[in-house]
């Protein structure tokens, strides 16, 4: 639990410190923002500060019994509510178990913290049960809710939470940090592809994602320009991360649209691909390109449900293969 301090949290951390300094801790606090902004670390830093029993500073002392328990991840007054498996829902039984625990007093003299992550994974019945906790708050208990999609939480819960909305940090704050993490090649491009999200940029660098992206782009390009078979490519792609591929396709397509309007290369997301993107823009039919883009947006929404990846890629790539032919 060491790595809780990130330079882009500075402003929001001051906001949280002010709650502690002024002794007006919100009973429910929602921290929201894109993936890769280290929301969880910010929540843990705040939790540690709330649990720490040394009041000489806002920041946790890391020396008291409470801090030791927290650092060992065994603090009895720190409770996590999360899905049993990643991607699954937070069921009502889990919420009821927490409500039972909360009927007892906190074991230490400080606050008790319940961390709910991802809060948007509560089912409707879980959220209703949880709402009762907010309406009849247990003693010295703080609820921290984390989510990437605040809009999917029930309004009844949202209206009872104070909110910390993490924004995408400025590159001048993130670039030096990325260098410290050992990310030294194509740093700005990686950050651009991660849409400004620092932890995602590190993940991309570590997983050699740029090489994969390059080879996917070549394949996609060949379908449009050289008549490569869309079904064969769909078969190759269906084993890969759907969310990531759809994100790349969306950014490439947005760039091709921009190139059809002859925008400056500096305004493209994929500056390293400027030449092939400009070439594509010369060969595509703009109406069919928009049709392909609509399908991408629809698919980006559809991936939240159950679907057949192979069929999705086939439909996408067949549509894409016609975009260039149509001109």
Binding site for Zn ion (CB under 5 A): 52, 54, 60-61, 64, 67
Q: How far is the CB of 209 from Zn ion (least distance, A)?
A: 39
Helix (H, G, I), strand (E, B) or coil at 167: coil
User: 162-165 and 78-81 as β-strands: parallel, antiparallel, unpaired?
Assistant: unpaired
Identity of the residue, 37 or 60, whose beta carbon is nearer to Zn ion in the bound complex: 60
Task: For Zn ion, give the closer residue by CB, 52 or 256.
Answer: 52
**Rounded Cα distance, 93 and 130, in Å:** 11
Minimum CB distance to Zn ion, residue 33 (Å) = 27
Least distance from Zn ion to the Cβ atom of residue 20, Å: 13
CA separation for the pair 304, 298 (Å, rounded): 11
Residue identified by tokens 């290369």 is 265
| Least distance from Zn ion to the Cβ atom of residue 301, Å | 45
Nearer to Zn ion, 3 or 275 (CB): 3
The distance between the two most distant Cα atoms of the chain, rounded to a whole number of Å, is: 72
DSSP codes, 129-163: HHHHHHHSPPTTEEEEEEES-GGGS-HHHHTTSEE
3-state SS, residue 157: helix
Q: Which is nearer to Zn ion, 108 or 220 (CB)?
A: 108
Question: Rounded to whole angstroms, how far apart are CA atoms 71 and 74?
Answer: 8
Cβ–Cβ under 8 Å, residues 2 and 35:
no
- Which lies closer to Zn ion via its Cβ, residue 63 or residue 125? 63
Tracing tokens 């493209």 back to the chain, one arrives at 268
Nearest distance from C-beta of residue 75 to Zn ion, angstroms: 11
- Which residues partner with 114 through β-bridges? 79, 143
Residue 142 or 246 having the CB closest to Zn ion: 142
In angstroms, what is the minimal distance from the CB of 112 to Zn ion? 15
């Amino acid at each position: 639990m060491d790595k809780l301090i990130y330079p882009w949290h500075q402003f929001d951390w001051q906001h949280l410190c002010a709650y502690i300094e002024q002794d007006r801790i919100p009973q429910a606090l929602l921290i929201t923002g894109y993936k890769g902004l280290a929301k969880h670390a910010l929540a843990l830093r705040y939790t540690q500060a709330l649990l720490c029993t040394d009041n000489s500073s806002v920041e946790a002392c890391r020396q008291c019994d409470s801090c030791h328990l927290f650092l060992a991840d065994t603090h009895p007054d720190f409770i996590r509510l999360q899905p049993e498996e990643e991607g699954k829902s937070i069921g009502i039984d889990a919420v009821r178990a927490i409500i039972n625990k909360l009927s007892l007093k906190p074991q230490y003299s400080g606050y008790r913290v319940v961390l709910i992550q991802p809060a948007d994974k509560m089912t409707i019945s879980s959220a209703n049960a949880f709402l009762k906790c907010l309406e009849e708050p247990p003693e010295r208990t703080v609820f921290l809710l984390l989510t990437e999609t605040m809009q999917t939480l029930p309004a009844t819960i949202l209206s009872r939470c104070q909110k910390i909305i993490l924004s995408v940090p400025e590159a001048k704050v993130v670039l030096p940090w990325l260098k410290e993490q050992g990310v030294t090649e194509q740093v700005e491009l990686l950050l651009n592809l991660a849409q400004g999200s620092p932890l995602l940029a590190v993940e991309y660098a570590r997983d050699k994602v740029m090489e994969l992206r390059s080879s996917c782009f070549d394949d996609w390009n060949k379908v449009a320009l050289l008549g490569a078979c869309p079904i064969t490519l769909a078969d190759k792609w269906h084993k890969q991360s759907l969310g990531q591929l759809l994100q790349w396709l969306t950014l490439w397509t947005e760039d091709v649209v921009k190139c059809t309007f002859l925008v400056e290369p500096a305004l493209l997301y994929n500056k390293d691909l400027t030449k092939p993107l400009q070439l594509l823009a010369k060969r595509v039919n703009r109406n069919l390109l928009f049709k392909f883009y609509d399908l991408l947006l629809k698919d980006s929404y559809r991936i939240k449900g159950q679907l057949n990846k192979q069929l999705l890629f086939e439909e996408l790539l067949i549509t894409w293969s016609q975009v260039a032919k149509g001109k």
